[in-house]
Amino acid sequence: MKSIQLNISGMKCGGCVQTVEQILQNSEGTDNVSVNLLTESAYFDIKDGQLNIDDILHNLKNNGFPSEIYSNDFSEKINKAALVKKNLWFKEWKKLNFAFLLLLFSVLGHLAEGGFIRLPILGNIYFHAALATTALLFPGRSIILNGFNSFFKNRPNMDTLVALGVTSAYSTSLLSLIFPSTGFPCFFNEPVMLLGFIILGRFLEDRAKYQTGNSIGELLDLQPDTAYIIDSNGKSKEVRVNTLAPGDKIQVLAGDRVPADCLVIEGNSLIDVSHITGESKPIQADIGENLLNGSLNLNSTLKLKVIKVGAETSLAKLVNLIESTQSQNPPIQRLADQIAGKFTYFVLFTSLTSFFFWWKIALKLWPNLLNEHNHALITSSHTLHNSLGLHADTSLNLAIQLSIAVLVIACPCALGLATPTVITVASGKAAKKGILFKGGDKIEIASKIDTIIFDKTGTLTKGLPFVVDYKCSSNNKFLLQVSASLEQESRHPIASALIREAEDQQLNFLKIKKISNETGKGISGELESIDGEVKVGNIKWLKESGVNFDKGANHALISDEIKQQTIIGVSINDSLLGFILVGDSLREDTKVSIDKLQKEDLDLYIFSGDRKETVLEIGRILDFEKASLKWSLLPHQKLRNIERLKDQHKVAMVGDGINDAPALAASDLGIAVGSGTQIAKANADVVLMGDKLNGLHYGLILAKKTINKIRQNLFWAFGYNLIAIPLAAGVLYPKFGILLSPSIAALLMAVSSITVVLNALSLE
C-alpha cells in the first residue's frame, strides 16, 4: 500500500491535530491517518487507489492549514536544512522583539502612573490604547486572524482561545475609554502582556522543539557539499556532490566524508561509521569494501567507485526512516489528541459559564465578596491603567476578568506535544546508537516486550560460516566441488562458506542443469558431468529423502564429539557422498548483550534450524536453560512456536536471514540485525545497524523510558489543566481571595508547553 506524507502549516495545538486528522480521515481514499504536531506533518496510506490529493490540499488550506506533499529529494532536504539554520527563527525573533518593546512601554506606563518616572506621555491612557492596538495589529495579528477563522469554521483551537481572550480585554477597555459611563475599568496593558507572554512562550517552545528534532539535521550534516572526481586522465577535480553518478571514480582524502555509497578500488584506511551504525570503533576499509554515504575517512587517501547517489544512498534512506518514525504517533497519543480536539469547546463553555456565574450568581451567594477580597495576584493602585479585574467594584468587572483568564490559561498545546516531542527525541537518540524504530508505535510495543526469541546463525553468531573439516571416505575436494557447485545460486550463509572454500582451493564449478530449494532443509538439483540428483542439506532431510547412511562416513561422524559445528550432508542419488563440517563463531558482544538482557528479567529463547548438539552448545555458553532452546526448526515451525508464546507474552524476534522474515513479521516486534538480508530488514519493526547486538538492550530500555516520559507529559498536561482552569475560574476567590490575572494565566500557559518539551529533552 502506497503512503503519502504531507508537510502542514498552521497547527498550534492538539485541537489542530484533531481537526487535520478528521479532514484526512473524511477524505476519500485515505487510511491509517497519523498527524504529528511537533514535526507538522501528516502520514496516511492510499486506500483502493482512490485519492484526489488536490482536493485534500485544497480542503486543508481552506481550513487554515496550508499543506504540500513531502519532498523525498535528498539534495532539497539538505538545502532546506541549511536555509533553516541560516534564517532560523529570524521572523519570529523580530516579532518577539516588537512584542516585548510594546510590553516595555506598558511597564514604563505603570511606573509613570505611580510617579516613578516623570514622563507624562507614558502614563497617558490614549498612549496605552495605541500600544494595545499596535500589539493586536502587528505581532498578534496572525494569532487573532487564525483564531477567529477557526472559530467561525466551528474548529476552535488554541489561537481561538487566545484571540477571544485578547480581543475581549481590548474591547472592554475600549468601551471604558469611549463610554466611561459603562463603569468598566481600563486595562489596555492586558492585551499587550498577554500577547507578549504568548509569543515568548511559542518562541521558546519552537526553540525547544527544534532541539528535539536535531538528529535529522546532524545526519544531513554528514553529507559533504563537494567531492573530488577522477577524470579519464587520472586527475582529480572538485565537483558538487549532486553531479555524481553511479560508476564515477572519486578520491576521498583523510578527514573527508564519503559523498555517496561507494566501493573501495584503491588504498586502505580506517573509517568512522559511528553516526550511521552506532559502531564506536573505526572499521578497516580495504579494496572491495563497501562504504556508506556519510562515513568519515580517518587516516589515508582512498579511491572509490560510486555505487549509489542521492536518495538511493544509505544516508538518505536512514533520514527517510527516522522522518517516518517521527511522523507516526503511537496509540498512547490518540486519546490525548481526541481530548484536545474537544478541549477548546470545553474551555469556551467553562469561560461562558464562569462569566454568568460571577456576574449574576456569585454576589447572591457572597454579598460582601468584592469588599472582602479587593486584590489579585498582581496588585496596582492605578485608576485607569489597571490589571484586568483589580479593584473590581462590580460583579460584571469580576466576571470579565475570570472568563478571560479561563480562555488564556487553558493549554491543549501541552496535550498535543506530550507524545511527539518524546518520540522525536527517542528516535534521534536511538539512531545515534544504530537502532532504527520504524514508527512511534514500534517504540510503544518495544516498551512492553517480555520475551525475546533469537535466531542463531547470523544473529548470535557472526553469520560468516567457514568450512572446518570434511568427513568423506574418498575425495574431499570432489565432495566440496559438488556441494559448492550446487550452492552457486543460493544466498544462504552456509552456501557462501562452501563457495569461498572452493574458490580458495581453486576448484572449478560445475554448471547447474536443474535446481530446487527446500526452505530450511537444503538444496537439490542436477550438475553437468554428474550422473544423478545431487542433494546438499541437513542430515534429517537427507534421511527422509531415502539417502543411505550405512557407510563409513557416517561412522566417522558419530565417533567424533563435534558440538559447535553445523553438519552438511552431500549425496548423489541415494548414496551418501560425505559430510562437510561448518563452523560459525559468536559475535564479540553476544555474551555481554545476552547477560544484560537476562538481568532485565526477560524470557529469552533460541529458535534455530541447526542440529541439537550445536544449539545446546550455544545455549551452554550463553547460560540458557535447555527448555529455552529449540533446534531443527523449519520456518513454519518457528511461526507455530511464536504464535504459541504470543498467547501469553509480548514477543520480540531477533533475526537476520531470509528464513527469519516470516518469524519477524509474525512476532509482536520484529528486530533485524543490520548486517542481515534486505528482506529481513523489510519485515522488521526495528533494525540494529552494523554488526553488533549491544544496541538491543539499549533500545528496549530506551523504549521503556520513552513511554514513561510520555506518561509523565500526559499527566502534567492533564493535571495542569485540571488545576489551572478552576483556579482561573475563581474557585479560590470566595474563601482565600486569590485571583489569577490573564497575564499571569498566559505566562503559566506558556510554561506548561515548555515544560512538556524540556521534559522530553531530559530523556537519556
pLDDT, residue 379, reads 34
CATH topology of domain 223-313: 2.70.150
The 3-class SS string of 294-339 reads CCEECCCCEEEEEEECHHHCHHHHHHHHHHHHHHCCCHHHHHHHHH
Query: In whole angstroms, what separates CA 12 from the centre of its chain?
Result: 20
Q: Choose among 294, 322, 323, 293: nearest CA to 308.
A: 293
Distance, CA of 198 to CA of 754 (rounded, Å): 11
Angle at CA of residue 31, ends 27 and 36, nearest 5°: 90
What one-character-per-residue DSSP string does 455-491 give? -IIIIIB-S--EEEEEE-SS-HHHHHHHHHHHGGG--
As beta bridge partners, residue 467 has 582
Q: Give the alpha-carbon dihedral of 685, 688, 694, 695, to 10 degrees.
A: -70
573 Rama class: left (phi>0) / alpha (psi -120 to 50) / beta: left
pLDDT, residue 390, reads 47
User: Taking the CA of residue 411 as centre, how many other CA atoms within 13 Å lie in the half-sphere pointing to its CB?
Assistant: 32
Strand 603-607 relative to strand 451-454, pairing: parallel
Question: Between 3.20.20.70, 3.40.50.1000, 3.90.78.10, 3.40.1710.10, what CATH number should domain 435-461+586-689 receive?
Answer: 3.40.50.1000
What is the identity of the amino acid at 163? A
Q: Report which DSSP code applies to 123.
A: G
In the structure grid, which three cell numbers stand for residue 469, read together? 573439516
Contact predicate 18/415, CB 8 Å: no
Going by C-beta distance under 8 Å and a sequence separation of 6 or more, which residues neighbour residue 678?
none
Burial environment of residue 207 by CB neighbours within 10 A (0 to 12, 13 to 18, 19 or more): middle
Terminal alpha carbon distance of the chain: 35
Distance, CA of 753 to CA of 741 (rounded, Å): 19
In the structure grid, which three cell numbers stand for residue 668, read together? 509482536
Residue for cell digits 533469537?
Answer: 454
Catalytic residue among 455, 660, 685, 691: 455
Going by C-beta distance under 8 Å and a sequence separation of 6 or more, which residues neighbour residue 558?
none
pLDDT, residue 382, reads 35
**Domain map (residue ranges) of the chain:** 3-70, 90-213+331-418+712-761, 223-313, 435-461+586-689, 466-583
Distance, CA of 25 to CA of 27 (rounded, Å): 5
As beta bridge partners, residue 652 has 452, 669
In the structure grid, which three cell numbers stand for residue 461, read together? 553468531
What one-character-per-residue DSSP string does 190-216 give? HHHHHHHHHHHHHHHHHHHHHHHTHHH
Distance, CA of 114 to CA of 117 (rounded, Å): 8
Distance, CA of 35 to CA of 40 (rounded, Å): 8
What is the identity of the amino acid at 568? I
What is the identity of the amino acid at 224? P
pLDDT, residue 205, reads 67
Total Cβ atoms within 10 A of residue 54: 8
Contact predicate 132/103, CB 8 Å: no
Q: Report which DSSP code applies to 378.
A: S
Q: At what angle do helices 125-137 and 141-152 cross, to 10 degrees?
A: 60
Going by C-beta distance under 8 Å and a sequence separation of 6 or more, which residues neighbour residue 42?
5, 6, 8, 20, 21, 24, 33, 34, 35, 36, 67, 327
SS3 state of residue 237? strand
Residue for cell digits 575425495?
Answer: 475
Contact predicate 390/380, CB 8 Å: yes
- Starting from the edge strand earliest in sequence, which strands make up the sheet with 296-297, in order? 283-285, 269-272, 296-297
As beta bridge partners, residue 46 has 30
pLDDT, residue 391, reads 52
- Starting from the edge strand earliest in sequence, which strands make up the sheet with 466-471, in order? 466-471, 575-583, 566-572, 534-537, 522-527, 512-518
pLDDT, residue 319, reads 79
pLDDT, residue 115, reads 65
Q: Report which DSSP code applies to 548.
A: B
Does an H or E element contain 622, and which?
none
Residue for cell digits 529458535?
Answer: 607
Contact predicate 466/501, CB 8 Å: yes
Task: Tell me phi and psi for residue 366, to 5 degrees.
Answer: -130, 85
Q: Choose among 710, 708, 720, 687: nearest CA to 757.
A: 710
Annotated active-site residue 450? The verdict is no
Please identify, in words, the CATH class of the domain defined by 466-583: alpha beta
Strand 669-673 relative to strand 686-688, pairing: parallel
Strand 534-537 relative to strand 566-572, pairing: antiparallel
Contact predicate 40/68, CB 8 Å: no
Give the pLDDT means over successive 10-residue stretches in the chain (764 positions): 80 81 90 82 82 90 87 63 56 85 83 70 84 92 88 82 85 84 73 81 69 68 89 88 91 92 92 76 87 90 92 80 69 68 84 93 88 49 41 76 81 73 84 82 91 87 82 83 88 84 90 85 88 88 83 48 72 87 84 92 89 85 91 84 91 79 85 65 76 87 93 86 86 83 71 84 85
Q: Report which DSSP code applies to 547.
A: -
Distance, CA of 123 to CA of 115 (rounded, Å): 9
In the structure grid, which three cell numbers stand for residue 739, read together? 485571583
What one-character-per-residue DSSP string does 413-462 give? HHHHHTTHHHHHHHHHHHHHTTEEESSHHHHHHHHT--EEEE-IIIIIB-
Q: Report which DSSP code applies to 357.
A: I
Does an H or E element contain 540, and which?
helix 539-544
Task: Tell me phi and psi for residue 117, to 5 degrees.
Answer: -125, 130
In the structure grid, which three cell numbers stand for residue 489, read together? 545460486
Total Cβ atoms within 10 A of residue 670: 27
Task: Tell me phi and psi for residue 579, to 5 degrees.
Answer: -125, 150
pLDDT, residue 341, reads 67
CATH topology of domain 3-70: Alpha-Beta Plaits (3.30.70)
pLDDT, residue 209, reads 62
Q: Report which DSSP code applies to 257.
A: B
Residue for cell digits 533494525?
Answer: 687
Distance, CA of 54 to CA of 467 (rounded, Å): 60
Task: Tell me phi and psi for residue 260, to 5 degrees.
Answer: -160, 175
Going by C-beta distance under 8 Å and a sequence separation of 6 or more, which residues neighbour residue 407?
161, 162, 164, 165, 168, 347, 348, 351, 742
Distance, CA of 230 to CA of 233 (rounded, Å): 8
